[in-house]
């Protein structure tokens, strides 16, 4: 049983003490599928917990961990790194001789840190183009995901979609939770190239779709939630707006639900009744009530119609729009290569 402790300096400026963020990022990189609290953070000054308290809490809660790895989140080997922290570790070793304490080097001089400095300087000078930012982001995603066998990007046609969702959310978990019908990517790209329209459940999904790219193929992204009037106690506004527009819009080929599980249930029902004949259904609603069930129901449709969804509570408008935009890019690239 191993626990990692990140030690930061600490600042009297409270909002500068953000080691918890670093801890979460490191946890996601090292233990992507882990739900345990195995990376702790502490401070030397001005903020709690301090290193001694952090070690004591680990010993109590972990019930004699076998190993504690302590990393000084400092650039250089000053007095804190070479004297203060090692003295605290020696005290801990005397108190807890059954635990192996490992002390790492500080951040120090590294090419990766110089690269971050270069990126910050270029960004401040306005020398990084938006396309370059995206390119670098994708390179980082591939690099961070690559070494992790359980979080490696897929090598098939779904790769660009998964990568764009991770880019949009900053969440590597989608690598393992996105679910694709075998014909989903091909069907979605063909629908876009054919100039078919896209129906969304909420305005946030519609607004996130690259309208210029879609219109280049002759299609439009449409949402009917604004047209819903009156009270409908048995249906949500998103469900009512989606269904009314989907039934009316004859050029629709892709149905996208990123927010409302009720709209996804209704969409599947209309498809199974033969009212809608989708080329692709994208269903990734987020939430704690019926979202998991709605997406599981979509995945359970098997080979009835192409779909893209994900397991679990996560999802949302950002994810839905990212999937569509990835398909749009694939359609554009396919057109260029013809």
Residue 97 has a pLDDT of 92
- The answer to whether residue 32 sits within a structural domain is yes
Catalytically active residues are: 167
pLDDT given for residue 72 in this prediction: 96
In this structure, the strands spanning 2-8 and 67-72 are parallel
pLDDT at 189: 96
Domain that holds residue 252: 155-337
pLDDT at 252: 94
Residues of the chain with pLDDT under 70: 32-33, 62-64, 126-154, 230-233, 335-338
At residue 50, the pLDDT reads 94
Give the Å distances, CA to CA, from 243 to 114, 233, 247, 265, 323: 53, 15, 6, 11, 21
> How many domains does the structure of the chain reveal?
3
204 and 290 both lie in a single domain:
yes
- Both 131 and 196 in a single domain? no
d(CA 189, CA 255): 13
Query: What would the pLDDT profile of 171-198 be if each residue is shown by its tens digit?
Result: 888 888 999 999 999 999 999 999 999 9
Which pLDDT value is given to residue 335? 63
Cα separation, 281 vs 143, in Å, equals 31
Same domain, 26 and 89: yes
pLDDT in tens, 11-33: 999 888 889 888 888 887 787 66
Q: Are both 89 and 235 inside the same structural domain?
A: no
Residue 150 is predicted with a pLDDT of 47
Whole-structure pTM over 0.75, yes or no? no
Considering the domain boundaries, does residue 280 fall inside one? yes
Same domain, 116 and 97: no
The pLDDT, as a whole number, for residue 153 is 62
145-169: pLDDT as tens digits: 654 434 566 677 888 899 899 988 8
């Amino acid at each position: 049983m191993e626990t990692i402790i990140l030690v930061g300096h600490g600042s009297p400026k409270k909002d500068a003490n953000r080691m918890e963020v670093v801890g979460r990022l490191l946890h996601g990189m090292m233990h992507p599928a882990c739900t345990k609290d195995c990376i702790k953070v502490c401070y030397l000054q001005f903020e709690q917990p301090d290193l001694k308290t952090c070690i004591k809490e680990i010993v109590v809660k972990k019930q004699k961990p076998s190993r504690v790895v302590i990393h000084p989140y400092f650039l250089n080997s000053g007095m804190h790194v070479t004297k203060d922290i090692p003295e605290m570790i020696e005290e801990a070793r005397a108190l807890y001789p059954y635990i192996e304490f490992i002390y790492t080097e500080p951040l120090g001089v590294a090419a990766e840190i110089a690269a971050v400095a270069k990126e910050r300087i270029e960004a401040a000078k306005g020398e990084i183009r938006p396309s370059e930012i995206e390119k670098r982001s994708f390179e980082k995603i591939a690099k961070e995901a690559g070494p992790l066998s359980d979080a490696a990007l897929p090598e098939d046609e779904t790769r660009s979609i998964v990568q764009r969702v991770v880019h949009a959310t900053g969440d590597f978990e989608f690598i393992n939770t996105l679910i694709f019908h075998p014909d989903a990517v091909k069907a979605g790209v063909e629908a876009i190239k054919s100039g078919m329209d896209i129906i969304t459940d909420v305005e946030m999904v519609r607004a996130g779709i690259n309208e210029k790219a879609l219109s280049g193929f002759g299609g439009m992204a449409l949402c009917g939630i604004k047209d819903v009037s009156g009270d409908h106690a048995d249906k949500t506004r998103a469900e009512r707006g989606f269904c009314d527009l989907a039934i009316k819009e004859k050029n629709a080929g892709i149905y996208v639900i990123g927010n409302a599980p009720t709209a996804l249930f209704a969409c599947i029902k209309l498809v199974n009744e033969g009212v809608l004949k989708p080329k692709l259904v994208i269903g990734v609603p987020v939430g704690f009530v019926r979202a998991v069930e709605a997406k599981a129901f979509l995945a359970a449709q098997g080979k009835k119609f192409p779909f893209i969804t994900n397991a679990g509570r996560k999802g949302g408008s950002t994810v839905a729009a990212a999937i569509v935009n990835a398909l749009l890019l694939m359609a554009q690239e396919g057109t260029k290569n013809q």
